[in-house]
Amino acid sequence: MGQQRRLRVVQWATGGVGRAAIQGVLAHPELELAGAWVHSPDKAGRDVGELAGLDPVGVTAVATLEEVLAIGADCVVYAPLVPDEAEVAALLRSGADVVTPVGWVYPDPARTGTLREACAAGGSTLHGTGIHPGGITERFPLMLSAVTGSVTHVRAEEFSDIRTYDAPDVVRHVMGFGGTVEEAESSPMAKLLGGGFKSSVRMVVAELGFRADEVRTTVENAVATAPIDSPIGRIDPGRVAGRRFRWEAVVDGEPVVTAAVNWLMGEEHLEGPDGPWGFGPEGERFEIEVSGDPAVRMTLHGLQPESVAAGLVRNPGVVSTAHHCVSAIPYVCAAEPGIRTYLDLPLIAGRAAPHLAR
Ligand SMILES: NC(=O)c1ccc[n+]([C@@H]2O[C@H](COP(=O)([O-])OP(=O)(O)OC[C@H]3O[C@@H](n4cnc5c(N)ncnc54)[C@H](OP(=O)(O)O)[C@@H]3O)[C@@H](O)[C@H]2O)c1
């Protein structure tokens, strides 16, 4: 990328992903931190470096959309608890590109008219990313599929201990832990969650050319059989403490593309419909499998922390989500205006550590 001017980046929301993204922007040779939007009023006016657990960086956090627009950023990393389309449209209309882990990995063109208009008006680009969805569910399976042929099934599956994810609002409201099984299954948030994974499945279906129209969802829940300590406090017996989702595109009744998660509050005191739940001998991991000629399989370790305590301090999956956003920024800023997915962008890569860089 040569000696070009650094791209000016604003971080939207300073939760786990946002704080890691700030660190990522500060370490990235082509990026400059230009500001941050914060949700909690007590964070407004504070130094953004301090909010991210670093030394002060001389950049002050702001609390309104208008203040963010006044910064005139090249790109906004948009990582709030839940997406607000009007907010994203306003950012795009102002000319700022938006990279986000909260949706739009492979959006339905019929539902993105407003955002596409905003991109056209601002000459800006929107890119949805993440790790799961937004990486492991579609980008990496597509990459792996290139080294095989006659593909019959693509599977991406997560096995994670959710006691290490210190984002209580996400864990309770988006992922659906801590309440009754009925509450978990009827939550409107389940749609938001499933929407992301389903669109990833559709992306793989479309690019590989499977004859599959619908994506079916199956959910199983495990309840606590004894109190379990978790980031949302104590989960009492009978309350949801484990969730397994499968989102499957089907041809002739058989799955051809599967995204699945196994989210467990540890491996003790969990009772599912099929008995006690655990991760099996391989432990926490992400698996990607492409059944074809030949069948190839990849297991990713390192995205889950060494221990629950370590994960609560800094969860590598959250950090990785942030990096996938940050790494995309130079490519997104160079892209044609519009909504751009992995199918449109060139190979996205990270950058050398500052002390090893050219
Ligand atoms: N695709 C992926 O792989 C992936 C992975 C991880 C996370 N995510 C998504 O990324 C987002 C951030 O996750 P996280 O781990 O950073 O969660 P988090 O630590 O809970 O942070 C959530 C952020 O949203 C802010 N917030 C809370 N309530 C809000 C509201 N009503 N309106 C706007 N903002 C609000 C919080 O503000 P305060 O800091 O002021 O409390 C915080 O900055 C979530 O939507 C999550 O689902 C995606």
Distance 276 CA to ligand 1 centre (A): 31
Is a pLDDT exceeding 70 seen at residue 164? yes
Is a pLDDT exceeding 50 seen at residue 147? yes
Residue to mutate, 39, 50, 81, ligand 1, most ligand atoms under 8 Å from C-beta: 81
**Amino acid identity of 183?**
E
The reported pLDDT for the residue numbered 3 is 62
Considering the entire predicted model, what is its pTM? 0.95
Is a pLDDT exceeding 80 seen at residue 199? yes
Dihedrals phi, psi of 323, to nearest 5 degrees: -65, -35
Distance 7 CA to ligand 1 centre (A): 24
**Average pLDDT in the chain:** 96
Residue to mutate, 170, 198, 303, 312, ligand 1, most ligand atoms under 8 Å from C-beta: 170
Q: Ligand 1 pocket, 145 CB below 6 A? A: no
Let me know: does 345 contact 127? Beta carbons within 8 Å: yes
CB atoms within 10 A of CB 175: 23
Pairing, β 338-339 against β 7-12: unpaired
Distance 16 CA to ligand 1 centre (A): 7
pLDDT tens digit sequence for 204-220? 999 999 999 889 999 99
Q: Ligand 1 pocket, 35 CB below 6 A? A: no
| Cα dihedral sign, 58-62-66-69 | positive
CA distance 212 to 324: 29
Distance 184 CA to ligand 1 centre (A): 19
Is a pLDDT exceeding 60 seen at residue 321? yes
Q: Ligand 1 pocket, 115 CB below 6 A? A: no
pLDDT tens digit sequence for 32-54? 999 999 999 999 999 999 999 99
The reported pLDDT for the residue numbered 189 is 82
Is a pLDDT exceeding 50 seen at residue 174? yes
Is a pLDDT exceeding 70 seen at residue 161? yes
The reported pLDDT for the residue numbered 192 is 80
From the centroid of its chain, how far is CA 295?
27
Closest C-alpha to ligand 1, atom 31: 81
Residue to mutate, 17, 162, 315, ligand 1, most ligand atoms under 8 Å from C-beta: 17
On the question of a cis peptide bond just before residue 133, with omega within 30 degrees of 0, the verdict is yes
pLDDT tens digit sequence for 60-84? 999 999 999 999 999 999 999 999 9
Is a pLDDT exceeding 50 seen at residue 90? yes
Farthest CA pair distance, the chain: 59
Is a pLDDT exceeding 50 seen at residue 102? yes
Is a pLDDT exceeding 80 seen at residue 25? yes
Let me know: does 160 contact 243? Beta carbons within 8 Å: no
Angle between helix axes 85-93 and 113-122 (nearest 10 degrees) is 20
Is a pLDDT exceeding 50 seen at residue 2? no
Distance 281 CA to ligand 1 centre (A): 32
